[in-house]
A = this chain, B = another copy of it.
Amino acid sequence: MLAPDEQDSRSLIQFFIMSGKLKAEMRRGWVKKLGMKHPESVADHSYRTALMAMVISDSRGLNTGRAMRLALLHDLPEAIVGDATPGERSGARKSALETKAMEEIISDFPKDAKDLYRGVWREYLEGATKEARLVRQLDKLEMAIQAWEYANDAGDPSSAKEFWESAKGHITDEALVELLMQVEP
């Protein structure tokens, strides 16, 4: 239970302020590879990823609460370490850096909450459940849809190719592959 005393309020507000940094964190791929000045934020991407997770998890009878938690938290460490392209940060170094950031972000939470969110984060990293494997692939599908949208807006469909190919390399779920085919550049 949330005790409404001032100390807890202060650390909760600090958490909300910290997570709000994702609104101003531009997704690096669009800045670096498409030269965009005001692309979507990490929060924008996380919002649609969570909505996609909700709809697809509901349609499959998965644990939608679990899927939405995973999606809402999957890029939260970027509030501290910032977004990076796969070329700039990947693999074990990325996991270690982001796990450390996640620990810092939840450091003032009560033990129960800390255990819960630490567990969700590990579940995501490891793709340990159906929901985690879904959200990991939706993270890529969401990017491919956004690439397709930006490319069409710019009148240059081929500029989405690199992002689509990258998503294709990660998505194995049959129904998600069908979705990906809908936004092939």
Majority secondary structure of chain A interface residues (helix, strand, loop or mixed)? helix
Number of A residues, CB within 8 Å of B? 55
- For A17, what are the chain B residues with a Cβ–Cβ distance below 8 Å? 145, 149
Chain B residue nearest in CB terms to A19: B51
- For A55, what are the chain B residues with a Cβ–Cβ distance below 8 Å? 12, 15, 113
- The answer to whether A13 and B47 have CB atoms under 8 Å apart is no
Residues on A facing B (Cβ under 8 Å): 1-2, 4-6, 9-10, 12-13, 15-17, 19-20, 22-23, 38, 40-41, 43-44, 46-48, 50-52, 54-56, 58-61, 63-65, 68-69, 72, 76, 110, 113, 116, 142, 145-146, 149, 174-175, 178-179, 181-183
